[in-house]
Amino acid sequence: MPDIGAEANTDSAISISGLEFAHGNRPVLNGINLEIPKGVSFGVLGANGAGKTTLIKMLIGRLKPDGGSALISGQQPGPELADSVGYIPQLNALYEALSVRENLNFFARMLGLSDKSHRIKAVERAMELVGLSDRADSVITGLSGGMRQRVSLGAALVHEPQLLLLDEPTVGLDPELRATFWQHFKEMTDSGVTILISSHTMDDAAHCDTLGFMRDGVFIATGTPDELRRSTGKPDSSLEDAFLHLSKASA
């Protein structure tokens, strides 16, 4: 279980201490502390505006903290960690005039796969993993929203990262495709990959090994899904019940 308040640990996948960030005069992150071990899926759950996307942008080095620190395997986030981190943004970042294969090839090159034969194999493996081998030559503009999400996942996985940062990756997906995504994620954590996923849907939350409920830029509770359900004192509580209960308790 992630340990809030722990000191930075170089053996952790993610180590956050006193992390603060503000947009102008508006605080967004308010002194977050968090340790996430390697090989687990950690879900950041909260309403829009809770600070989820800002936290992920800190972890990819796109934003710099106003206070505290965020470390990935003991190192500062930034371009030098690109070969070990995969990222799916909230908004689609694909090149719509290119095909599935061309997009994945482009991202593979950007992520350091310079050897052509290695890159070709990596692209083919990523397309097979997300179930798009038969659409390899399809242009992005001709794909459904769910298929575009699959391409985005393939782009994030093409270099076989050890940490995957996912910002609302299942929004708009049908239940079958969401289940397929989570099957991939479970296989990845079983192989030692760490996944941090932000979401506001409790369907995603139930699949995570551990969760952090976020409100107003802080974690109000962390634990396994069962631990958080039990926090309400009612054995049949849902995760949504737990979130509402803990939100009221922290208000």
The per-residue pLDDT for 5 is 40
49: phi then psi, degrees, rounded to nearest 5: 90, 0
> pLDDT tens for residues 218-238?
999 999 999 999 988 887 889
Q: Tell me what the mean pLDDT of segment 22-31 comes to.
A: 93
> pLDDT tens for residues 8-19?
455 799 999 999
Q: What would the two tokens of residue 123 be?
A: 């692209």
- Number of helical (H) and strand (E) elements in the chain, helices listed first: 8, 9
**Taking a C-beta distance cutoff of 8 angstroms, is the pair 87, 60 a contact?**
yes
Least confident span in 58-67, 82-91, 119-128: 82-91
pTM of the model: 0.88
Cα-trace Rg, the chain: 18
Please report, for residues 23, 43, 58, 210, the alpha-carbon distance to residue 244 in angstroms, rounded to integers and kept in the order given. 27, 17, 27, 18
Torsion, CA 92, CA 27, CA 10, CA 156, rounded to 10:
0
Query: What band does 56 get if pLDDT is binned at 50, 70 and 90?
Result: very high
> pLDDT tens for residues 159-201?
999 999 999 888 777 888 888 889 889 999 999 999 999 988 8
The DSSP secondary structure of 139-196, one letter per residue, reads BGGGS-HHHHHHHHHHHHHTT--SEEEEESTTTT--HHHHHHHHHHHHHHHHTT-EEE
- Taking residue 11's Cβ as centre, other Cβ atoms within 10 Å add up to 10
The per-residue pLDDT for 91 is 73
